[in-house]
Structure 1
Amino acid sequence: MTDWFVDTVGSGSLVLAVPIAVLAGLVSFFSPCVLPLLPGYLSYMTGVGVQDLDTARRGRMLIGSTLFVLGFSVVFVTGGLLFGSIGARLAEHQRPISIVMGVVVILLGLVFMGFIPLMQREYKIHAVPAVGLAVAPLLGALFAFGWIPCIGPTLGTVLTLANTEGTAARGAFLSFTYCLGLGIPFVVAALGFGRFMNAMAWVKRNQRTVNVAGGLLLVTVGLLLVTGAYDSMVESLRSTFGTGTAAI
């Protein structure tokens, strides 16, 4: 088990892909799809009224937010597992696939920056039940499915990288790191709601800048895939860190 974990996580390709996935998760959290709705989601997942979030018991806030994050993590990690498995079956066609997926990621980056108006309309689930700790994981799964059209650009980039990993295990692990980037801020906000929202005031005032920065990250990844630079960087890292041959 230890050897499997070391080989999977120590893969040279993941050394490059994991930071991108974590950043993509953070960009998703700070996007207009998530951040403005944070008080409502914290209220739903913990069963605490919005006006009481800053004074609620930390234990309840921690449990509720953690269960919520676990709920959407199961969905996204399953997606990474699937895309990594597909990548393993199409390994001999990796170069043309990288080009096609790179073009898709570039388009997703432009969508994230708002440069493709026809794709700016948001299709997402606006109504969620007033629940609490018992069904917080289900609410997290609902968040994952309902917000896919909105966080799709960043999530799509991570799933593209999961496909290039060539194994189901690495694809799942990469999606897990995306969930850390998206989920940890939820937990931090739950534990100190008032201070967290005050700290987020700058993000709200500069939402356009955040979107452009996130979009540029996606476009950069897409260009690396299209030009083959990403594959070259992966091969260089694998020569240093190893290939993770024991990974499944």
Structure 2
Amino acid sequence: MIDAGALSAVSFALIAGITTFFSPCAYPLLPGYVGYYVSQTDGEEPSLGGALSRGFIAGAGVLVTLGILFLVAFQVSHATLSNLVYFEPIAGAVLVIFGVLIITDRAPSLSVPLPKRRSSLLGFGIFGSGYALAAAGCVAPLFVGVVMRAVSAPTTTGAMVVGTYVGSVVALMVALTVVTGMGLVAAGQFARFGPQLKQFAGVVMILAGLGQLYLSAVLLGVL
């Protein structure tokens, strides 16, 4: 049975993964992705098989990029493991600040170019990879928080934390591609709900930052 500490870490990773996917400086890329999908399949009948294949390729792009980021982060973390605990309050404070910037609409925005060649399945993988990089960079303190929990936890729990975080982002990318391929969403829908999702992401990041500051002050005794 999973203990309370592991459940808390995995729950944090799940929330972090969802927040990463809808991060405010990556979320504006999604209407372009929907439009790219439509342009690639113009004239084709909606196909679940085709949507799934494109979704898995986009998800693979996410998986590869996040996998590389975690490998690099783990190398750095293990090299400075004795001082890793001191990064917890820093990450928490940055999360709170960045959350406030999001709510006040001062967060940065990013762009990821998409290939223009028709029928390019590779283009979906490129977008998935670029989106993951933009999203993780947008919420870097949150990503660092996931890394710290994975590194400081037992091996099994750490693997669950990383798997939950990466899996949630991959699953959302696959789901988005499939519902787009089946004609269930349009680019305009993202623009319509964008402000609400940005506010939600900002609130979640502030709460996550406060949680990390609490962990630093009460449980780790850093502050």
Does the TM-score normalized on the shorter chain lie above 0.5? Answer: yes
From 210, 213, 218, the counterpart of 2:205: 218
Alignment match, 2:17: 22
Alignment match, 2:32: 37
Name structure 1 gaps, 5 residues minimum: 1-5, 234-248
CA contact (8 A) 1:26 1:181 kept: no
Alignment match, 1:124: 111
> Superposition RMSD on alpha carbons, in Å?
3.6
CA contact (8 A) 1:33 1:151 kept: no
Question: Within the alignment, does 1:228 sit opposite 2:215 as a pair?
Answer: yes
Question: Within the alignment, does 1:152 sit opposite 2:142 as a pair?
Answer: no
From 184, 196, 207, the counterpart of 2:185: 196
Alignment match, 1:137: 125
Deviations 1:132-159 (A, max 9, x none): 35424344334444xx1x6633354134
CA contact (8 A) 2:65 2:132 kept: yes
Question: Within the alignment, does 1:107 sit opposite 2:97 as a pair?
Answer: yes
Matched pairs, number: 212
CA distance in 1, matches of 2:167, 2:218: 20
Alignment match, 1:236: none
Q: In the TM superposition, what is the alpha-carbon distance from 1:162 to its structure 2 partner?
A: 1.6
Question: Within the alignment, does 1:209 sit opposite 2:199 as a pair?
Answer: no
Q: What is the TM-score normalised by the length of structure 2?
A: 0.73
Query: Alpha carbons of 1:32 and 1:78: their partners in 2 closer, same or farther (altered >3 Å)?
Result: closer
Alignment match, 1:78: 68
Q: In the TM superposition, what is the alpha-carbon distance from 1:60 to its structure 2 partner?
A: 1.7
Question: Within the alignment, does 1:164 sit opposite 2:149 as a pair?
Answer: yes
Q: Secondary structure at the match of 2:139?
A: helix
Query: Alpha carbons of 1:227 and 1:14: their partners in 2 closer, same or farther (altered >3 Å)?
Result: closer
Q: In the TM superposition, what is the alpha-carbon distance from 1:177 to its structure 2 partner?
A: 2.8
Identity of aligned residues (%): 13
CA contact (8 A) 2:180 2:186 kept: no
